[in-house]
Amino acid sequence: MTVVETSQAIVAIDGPSGSGKSSTSKGVARALGLAYLDTGAMYRAMAWYMLEHEVDLGDRAAVAARANEPVIALAVDPDRPEIAVDGVDVTELIRGEAVTGAVSPVAAVPEVRARLVDLQQAAVADSQRRGRGIVVEGRDIGTVVLPDATAKIFLTADAQARAARRAHEDAGRAGAVGPGESDIAATAQALAARDAIDSGRATSPLRPAEDAVHVDGTFMTLPEVIDRIVDIVTEACAGQ
């Protein structure tokens, strides 16, 4: 039996909010012994910085003018994906409602995207120099950040499943037992609004790469999705 080497694989996982990208990406990284980079956390960190410094998010020029200021540092361990801004640990702070509402308009600013894409590509190059492949999740990884990735996956789920997953995540962070129907409905509305912004922005819109493999996780368990993507990566490595 031929053993396929996957330790150097560069894996791009894109998809909309609530599709299960984070849990899946971390699971794939653990399964293959790879590093892990959450690019969405970087955009959240930038949004947190703008809010902290009271930048008018409706003023794109103002956001652009400060896009190069924050020092953003990430850990690429799938078990401890921490992120800091100017030395402040914002791993939990960036998951609050204010940042969630601010991240799409901040991420739509070309200067923000250019700065963070540079940081993302540098993180991947650093991991490669250390002899370790990496799983990178986001919305423009296969199309912009890593167009030459070993494997590209576009992970989706139907709107109701995505809303339910995200509402359960939010309830868990708030210490609640679970979301009610109204919470799920509100989450669905918020996700639809974010999808519209992310898919409609002029710079790096959310869309699958032409050579991405589509994985619909609506009726799959998390382990099943992880196994499916591990198979995709293994097949891609075998074909190189």
Residue that wins the pLDDT comparison between 191 and 47: 47
**Residue 1 in this model has a pLDDT that exceeds 60:** no
**Residue 165 in this model has a pLDDT that exceeds 60:** yes
**Residue 17 in this model has a pLDDT that exceeds 70:** yes
Mean pLDDT of the region 210-232: 94
φ, ψ for residue 208, nearest 5 deg: -75, 145
**Residue 197 in this model has a pLDDT that exceeds 60:** yes
**Residue type present at position 116:** L
Q: How many CB atoms lie within 10 A of CB 203?
A: 15
pLDDT in tens, 105-144: 999 999 999 999 999 999 999 999 999 999 999 999 999 9
* Average of per-residue pLDDT values in the chain: 90
Position 237 scores a pLDDT of: 95
Q: Which domains does the chain have, with CATH numbers?
A: 13-238 (3.40.50.300)
In sequence order, what DSSP letters do the residues of 166-185 get, joined into one string?
HHHHHHHHTT-S---HHHHH
pLDDT in tens, 58-109: 999 999 999 999 999 999 999 999 999 999 999 999 999 899 999 989 999 9
Percent of the chain with pLDDT over 70: 94
**Residue 18 in this model has a pLDDT that exceeds 90:** no
pLDDT in tens, 166-186: 777 776 666 776 777 777 777
In sequence order, what DSSP letters do the residues of 33-86 get, joined into one string?
T-EEEEHHHHHHHHHHHHHHTT--TT-HHHHHHTTT---EEE--BTTB--EEET
User: Which pTM was predicted?
Assistant: 0.86
**Residue 223 in this model has a pLDDT that exceeds 50:** yes
pLDDT-wise least confident of 26-40, 45-59, 109-123, 185-199 = 185-199
For 204: left if phi > 0, alpha if psi spans -120 to 50, otherwise beta; the answer is left
The Cα diameter of the chain in Å comes to 59
Position 173 scores a pLDDT of: 67
**Residue 5 in this model has a pLDDT that exceeds 80:** yes
